[in-house]
Structure 1
Amino acid sequence: MYGRLEEDLRSTDSFDMIDKKTKSSRSSKNAVDTEFDHVDIDNSEVNLKNDEVNMKNVKVNMGNGELNMGNGKVNVENGTVNIDNGGQKMVNSQINMGTKEMDLGNGELMKTADESLSSNGNHDVGLSNGCKHYDLAIDADDNVKNSEVNLDNVEQYKVYKSRWFMLFVVCCLNLSNAMMWITFAAAADTTITFYGITSLQLNMLSMTFMFATVPLGFVASWVLDTFGLRTSLLISAWLNGIGGLLRNISTLDVIPADHAYTVLLIGQILAACAQPFVMFAPTKLAALWFPENRRATANMIGSMMNPLGNMVAFIIVPLVVEDVSDIPLALWIVSAPAFFITIVTTFGVRRSRPPTPPSPSAGEVNQPFKDGLKQIIVNKNYMILNIGFGAGLALFTALASFLEQILCPRGYSDDFAGICGALMIVLGMVLSAVAGVYVDKTKQFDEVLKVSLSLAVLSGIAFTQVSRLRDQHVWVALTAALFGGFGLTIYPISMELAVEVTYPVAEATSSGLCIVGGQAQGIIYMFAMQYLTQPLSYHELSLETGCHIAENSTTTVFEPQDWTYSNLYIFNVISTLAVITLVLFFKPEYKRLEAERKITALAKKAIEVEKSNKVTPVSTSQL
């Protein structure tokens, strides 16, 4: 029963004043209570004198678009109002209110540009995007006697405790997947000896994650936006779990030695395919399950589990792997969280979104994936953010993957390299937490991003210089920690900014493609850095090394390299260009926040007007 009567008062006929004396019941503060009320319709103007409506023996029947008023019966049909016993007839009586329309076709009152009121027993008043909802309790059925509208029962945006379980699942998946990603970078030399592979084959185990993310990033974004968060998490959990199992099987004696690396690589590829389905999830989770003033914090927590997984691997793997024979044990320890979270996700995650939205934007229907792609590729601010953030992510990934290979030729042990990697993550998580709370309160995403990236680049350049020197443990650890600390801070901030500057494009699309861009750049930079490595000088070879090199071994052994040119031409130059571009040309507009402010303001105004129970004179000239 949803008809529509556009309010366009075209008739210029004058009508006599209808004077009815009445007294309505007063059962609550929201009841309509009037006396000596008048309705004057004259020269296309509606005046409600004394701001009151007189209705005696009122019977409102909205079922068939019919209004019964005691001895006078008003039938609303096709824009014509017939007063049965009143002797008057209004033909084509429509009232146009500009962009606001009032429809009374089948008992529906709607303001299309601002708010809508549907009559279906329990009235639902919302904004045009369907984000704000009010429950208007009507103490009657379709036929209302002594009508009363209770506006106290207002449904506010609600959050659910289950949001923390969803965040727990995303965190565990991200952590376990990151542990498998960086496993072999934390024990590069021993892995090469165990599997009998080259340095390039070793680095391919880490680079598969980047190769997989680029094409599957589009698929993961589409799955998240089309099928929902639950489907994406299930795909990620099972790919991650099966990949971990195959990695462990590669160490068993039943696998021929010349096929062990192949089985290992297949398992690593499956785990890599799982990454985009969970790596893109924190932004979507924060938008769907958390209120506006907690989104950045929730996004930060979910996103930081990826580098936390790197840190755990950097700590555990060097501690476990004291000899080549310890590689199998390390793989089983690393894969244990993946097996656990696969079971939890399968049986614990039951839905993709909460029953009701926690914020205005969470209730919106996102744009289709293809339409979103078309919008973001022509969005200047988004493309600048994608390139700048992507460069930072790529360089952080490259440094984390090559950290042990960069440090051990200068005499730094695997344990020390693991400590440096852990410090990068720990400080990064601390600063990200601080930044997340800060931007939730201040909304200064742009300022935090630019300052953090600038400090990260300066720290990274310092690290590439001191890492060339021997016996500089304090400075190496300090500069690595600062680079990781400020570098990781930009991660959740950039994800939120990607959503803000592309709104209303779906969250998984805008944030996910930033990660895809970063992984694509990472592939290029990592290949270039390996290509630019140089053999160590005779002098360096004669000095003590921190690398595990098996003497008199018949298998392939690790060969230390000089990474000076790689760090100089790739790390330093690219990072400097990225920060200059972002600082000078990135001028974001917070579209999502602005839309939510408008929605909130309109909602508050609607509540105030409805609770006032006061009708003011309105004319077409005012509208």
Structure 2
Amino acid sequence: MTVTASRFKKKWWSWLRFRICRGSPVRVTRRWSLSNIIAKCLNCTMITRFTEVIFNVMYPSITAHTKDVKIYPTRFWILGVFSFLGWFQCLQWNLWGSMSESVEAAFPGWGSETVAMMANWGTLTFSAFVVPMVWFMNHRGLRHGVLLCSALVAGGTVVKIISFTSDSQTFFTVMCHIGAILNGIAGTLIMSAPPMIAALWFPPQERTTATAVSQVLNQLGSAGSYLQPLVVRAPSEGVTPEDIRKDIRRLLYTYAGIGTAVFVIVVVYFPSKPPTPPSLSSQVDRLSFKTSLKKILKNRDILLITAAYSMCIAVPSAWLTVLNYSLSDLGMGQTEAMWVGLSAVLIQGATGLLVGRFTDLVYGHVKLSLLVFMVTSLASFFWFYILTTGTVTVTTWQIFMSVWGGLAFNFGTAPMFFELAVEIAYPCPELVIAGLLTGTMNILGLCFYLLFFIPNVGYQWVIYVLLGSSSCSMFPLMLVREDYSRSSLDRNRTDHSNTIDGNDNHAFSLCSEQDVKRPDIVCSKDSTDIKYEV
């Protein structure tokens, strides 16, 4: 909108309000809407709320225009492309774990340590590169960050097929390690960017759902990897190691083609942000990267959430990539383990989507919901534990149900953790908060994978670590103080007007009640700007 058009709009609104309100000298602000004008003339708070609802439903375009916010269909393209990239990146991360028997038969030098190390590169590189990668995207914008991610994922798939130019198994192994490293670096932003995309492109009532979609699609990459045994044959009578190597070679060529295609799509069209923000909070200037880190390290509640999220998510997520080994102790082979892992990931995804949508519709009870989900997940993991100890007779349906319940309710906490952390840390950038959560989580996941390198350690210890981390994660969460500053701003939960000296002048706050009470934030009430001064 040009300056002339903006002035014309203000004059037009002033004239309209003068005619309706009979010359009431009210200052022009962007918070004025048709519902507020009518309700002001009637001077009734109940009618204010009622007319707001009616006009927001009947005339959403008018309401959005008067508040300088707009929702674009392009947001679904952005979410779809990024989510598919996240799905493919996770599939590459868990490339070898779901077909461990076939890999060990095709490449005799590979064992459980090599398979675990391929996944371990994801956590190693994440811990090393999360800070510079988050800084890069925060500084250069969403498009440059996603473009870099897609290039790294594509590069990780291409280097594997380069190894086919030689018959050397050592060369193939080295190229696979390099590919895992490149893919792991890309994972730093794949796992950190969902809250940023939701804040930049989606309205308040869709933010948590958008975050959940990105996280679920990323997690469903594990489901895709569990379908690989349908393409790569397991060692059996009549199946030679060379046959298995041909299957793996064909699969890697397919992945290289998909990775390159995704990179081209991102190059062609993937904007950083819409021309007009989708919400009031997205118009607020975020703190700088350096300032955000300082504030986060001084924020008790953010540190508690980080500890709770890391202990809750790290071990179950890492366990899923090596689930074959735990199930083998219960007498399950690779094919049966494939169906357990595949079905568990699918149920995880459905749970994450339902939780994200529920949080958007009924917000304000995230902490209680998290505790309920964490207790249910712990109970399911304990059920799996008593199966491994032989306390109860092992049956197939019990294995399925215990794994389903533990992983589904555990993953359902992820979008709620992200939402609560972003709300408490606001106006720190969503990307920085997500990077902190996922970075700490990956460090704990790295410690879990390193335990596999202990000689003759077996696999029974895994369930004890699973139970211990799930139990300890609830204690820091209980100490967290909830704060919904960002949502309060977007959902208009503040007092819309205050009478000053008996006049009809009204001041409209663009900051939430929680923000006003926070000593570290000064809210600027302005008709054209929304600022947080630290």
Q: 2:473: which partner in 1?
A: 578
Distance 1:31 1:406, change over 3 A: closer
Distance 1:152 1:201, change over 3 A: closer
The one of 191, 200, 211 equivalent to 2:124 is 211
CA deviation map 1:312-348 (0-9, x unaligned):
1112345533343322223334444322211111112
Cα offset for 1:205? Answer: 0.2
Between 151-160 and 478-487, report the one with greater CA deviation: 151-160
Q: 2:348: which partner in 1?
A: 428
Distance 1:376 1:51, change over 3 A: same
Distance 1:212 1:380 in 2: 27
- Which structure 1 segments of 5+ residues have no match? 3-25, 35-49, 54-101, 103-108, 117-150, 535-561, 619-623
CA deviation map 1:197-226 (0-9, x unaligned):
232222110000001111211122212221
Report 1 or 2 for greater relative contact order, CA contacts < 8 Å, sequence distance ≥ 6.
2
Cα offset for 1:361? Answer: 0.8
1:510 aligns with 2:423: no
Q: 1:57: which partner in 2?
A: none
Cα offset for 1:503? Answer: 0.7
Specify the code of the residue in structure 2 equivalent to 1:162. Answer: T
1:280 aligns with 2:203: no
SS of the equivalent of 1:365 reads coil
Cα offset for 1:400? Answer: 1.0
Pair member with larger Rg = 1
Q: 2:55: which partner in 1?
A: none
1:462-481 correspondence runs (5 A):
462-467=383-388, 472-481=395-404
Q: 2:95: which partner in 1?
A: 183
Say if 2:347 and 2:408, in contact at 8 Å, map to a contact too: yes
Distance 2:141 2:484 in 1: 25
Q: 1:446: which partner in 2?
A: 367
Distance 1:456 1:361 in 2: 34
Scaled by the length of structure 2, the TM-score of the pair is 0.77
Say if 2:193 and 2:434, in contact at 8 Å, map to a contact too: no
Structure with more strand by fraction: 1
Say if 1:51 and 1:615, in contact at 8 Å, map to a contact too: no
Q: 1:270: which partner in 2?
A: 182
Distance 1:28 1:524 in 2: 63
The one of 12, 16, 19 equivalent to 1:30 is 16
Cα offset for 1:288? Answer: 0.7
1:198 aligns with 2:111: yes
Distance 1:589 1:192, change over 3 A: same
Scaled by the length of structure 1, the TM-score of the pair is 0.67
Distance 1:617 1:412 in 2: 73
Distance 1:361 1:33 in 2: 32
Distance 1:152 1:209 in 2: 42
Distance 1:405 1:330, change over 3 A: farther
SS of the equivalent of 1:265 reads helix
Distance 1:52 1:29, change over 3 A: closer
Distance 1:525 1:303 in 2: 21
CA deviation map 1:117-152 (0-9, x unaligned):
xxxxxxxxxxxxxxxxxxxxxxxxxxxxxxxxxx99
Cα offset for 1:258? Answer: 2.3
The one of 478, 485, 488 equivalent to 1:594 is 488
Distance 1:567 1:417 in 2: 16
Distance 2:103 2:296 in 1: 42
SS of the equivalent of 1:410 reads coil
Distance 1:209 1:478, change over 3 A: same
Give me the identity figure in percent.
20
SS of the equivalent of 1:478 reads helix
Say if 1:533 and 1:564, in contact at 8 Å, map to a contact too: no
SS of the equivalent of 2:277 reads coil
1:376 aligns with 2:272: no
Distance 1:446 1:616, change over 3 A: closer
Say if 1:377 and 1:383, in contact at 8 Å, map to a contact too: yes
Instruction: Give the paired residue count.
Output: 452
CA deviation map 1:235-282 (0-9, x unaligned):
0001000101112333x2525222221111111111111111222121
Specify the code of the residue in structure 2 equivalent to 1:455. Answer: T
Cα offset for 1:467? Answer: 4.2
Distance 1:306 1:179 in 2: 8
Distance 1:217 1:447 in 2: 30
Say if 1:403 and 1:417, in contact at 8 Å, map to a contact too: yes
Distance 1:203 1:588 in 2: 38
SS of the equivalent of 2:227 reads helix
Q: 2:238: which partner in 1?
A: none
- Which structure 2 segments of 5+ residues have no match? 4-11, 33-62, 236-243, 507-534
Specify the code of the residue in structure 1 equivalent to 2:318. Answer: A
Distance 1:312 1:27 in 2: 55
Say if 1:457 and 1:579, in contact at 8 Å, map to a contact too: no
Distance 2:68 2:203 in 1: 11
SS of the equivalent of 1:321 reads coil
Say if 2:159 and 2:179, in contact at 8 Å, map to a contact too: yes
Cα offset for 1:480? Answer: 0.7
1:255-404 correspondence runs (5 A):
255-317=167-229, 319-323=231-235, 324-325=244-245, 326-349=247-270, 351-404=271-324
Distance 2:455 2:378 in 1: 21
SS of the equivalent of 2:373 reads helix
Say if 2:101 and 2:334, in contact at 8 Å, map to a contact too: no
1:456-535 correspondence runs (5 A):
456-467=377-388, 472-528=395-451, 530-531=453-454, 534=457
Cα offset for 1:504? Answer: 0.7
The one of 77, 80, 86 equivalent to 1:168 is 80
Say if 1:319 and 1:415, in contact at 8 Å, map to a contact too: no
SS of the equivalent of 2:69 reads coil
Say if 1:213 and 1:516, in contact at 8 Å, map to a contact too: yes
Distance 1:359 1:480, change over 3 A: same
Specify the code of the residue in structure 1 equivalent to 2:479. Answer: F
Cα offset for 1:574? Answer: 2.2
Distance 1:447 1:410 in 2: 35
SS of the equivalent of 2:188 reads helix
Specify the code of the residue in structure 2 equivalent to 1:299. Answer: T
Structure with more helix by fraction: 2
Distance 1:152 1:476, change over 3 A: closer
Specify the code of the residue in structure 2 equivalent to 1:397. Answer: S
Q: 1:413: which partner in 2?
A: 333
Cα offset for 1:409? Answer: 4.1
Specify the code of the residue in structure 2 equivalent to 1:291. Answer: P
CA deviation map 1:157-183 (0-9, x unaligned):
210010000001111110000000001
Q: 1:566: which partner in 2?
A: 462
1:69-108 correspondence runs (5 A):
none
Say if 1:187 and 1:318, in contact at 8 Å, map to a contact too: no
Say if 2:311 and 2:472, in contact at 8 Å, map to a contact too: no
SS of the equivalent of 2:70 reads coil
Distance 2:461 2:67 in 1: 62
SS of the equivalent of 1:272 reads helix
Say if 1:382 and 1:501, in contact at 8 Å, map to a contact too: yes
